[in-house]
Amino acid sequence: MLGAKTLARAKINLFLSVGPRREDGYHEIRSVMQALELSDELYFRRTDGSRGRITLRCSDENLPDGGENLVWKAVDTFASETGVMDEGGLEVFINKRIPIGSGLAGGSADAAAALLAMNHIWELEMPLAEIERIAALVGSDVPFCLHGGTAVVTGRGERVEPLESLPSFQVVIASPGEQASTAEVYRRFDSVAAESGLPGEKELEQAFSALLEGLKKGDFEAISANLHNSLESATIAGDRLELFKSTALEAGASAALMTGSGPAVFALARTLEEAAEVAWELEKIAPVTIITGFADRGAQIAG
């Protein structure tokens, strides 16, 4: 097997509660993540290594092409854990469609796709559980991006409990077109929490339980009514976040929320017609506007 094409699906957080910083520097989270049809395409090809052990190119010049790229880290980690690539190399091309640094886990999705591609190219037939173990070494959102669908995610993001897949509700993504540093958002969150305290556990537990019940029933209204993201209080988007959310709601969205560490906002709509109306209004004020839908799977070998 000399090459592979993969799809790397984005995600949103229907629910994200963040606890205090742990001793290891990470925060304990509890999240409901949902995969989207929005995806990057990645192409992999084994080489003789004459042009380098790992060669990474991308359609977006803003994406780093060295060791700071999560795909590079995924390839390097997989090679170290399995012993492949002791000789030869790997070329990777990323056709970038997921906005960079937006809270949609584009880098983590690409890394998950890279792990699947390497298992496929070298014909290792590793069980998913072993790939998940390696994924957790690469990054916090990478294990979920392997699974996709709908899942409860805990720990620092490495524990994934899949739920029943939801209907493909429509999602409108609005991004201010700038990147947010996840580390900086969490630092801001720590500062806000130190000044005003964390959200009440009782209220969060009620919203989380109501959301899970809505997910079990596929109840769009119950899902929309119980979204939460603790990191909104630390967003760098400021007034634009509120403008995107209010615009989406006024245009007919059932709910709107920042995803992950932002600054992208997602809006939920039941039908494609409703989503188109929301996108029409958001496009007037947001540099990046995308209509997509829920997906029942994550990273995927596509050819």
Cβ atoms of 282 and 250 closer than 8 Å? no
The pairing of strands 265-269 and 170-175 is antiparallel
DSSP designation for 168: -
- How far apart, in whole angstroms, are the C-alpha atoms of residue 3 and residue 19? 42
Burial of 60 per CB tally in 10 Å (0-12, 13-18, 19+):
middle
- The 10 Å Cβ neighbour count of residue 202 is 8
**Catalytic residue status for 296:** no
Extract the tokens encoding 86.
């002791």
- The 10 Å Cβ neighbour count of residue 24 is 7
CA trace torsion 31, 36, 38, 44 (10° rounding): 80
Q: Which of 40, 73, 110, 141 is catalytic?
A: 141
Q: Which of 11, 73, 96, 245 is catalytic?
A: 11
- How far apart, in whole angstroms, are the C-alpha atoms of residue 87 and residue 137? 23
- How far apart, in whole angstroms, are the C-alpha atoms of residue 292 and residue 145? 17
**Catalytic residue status for 245:** no
Using left for φ > 0, alpha for ψ between -120 and 50, and beta otherwise, residue 197 falls in left
Catalytic positions, written as ranges: 11, 141
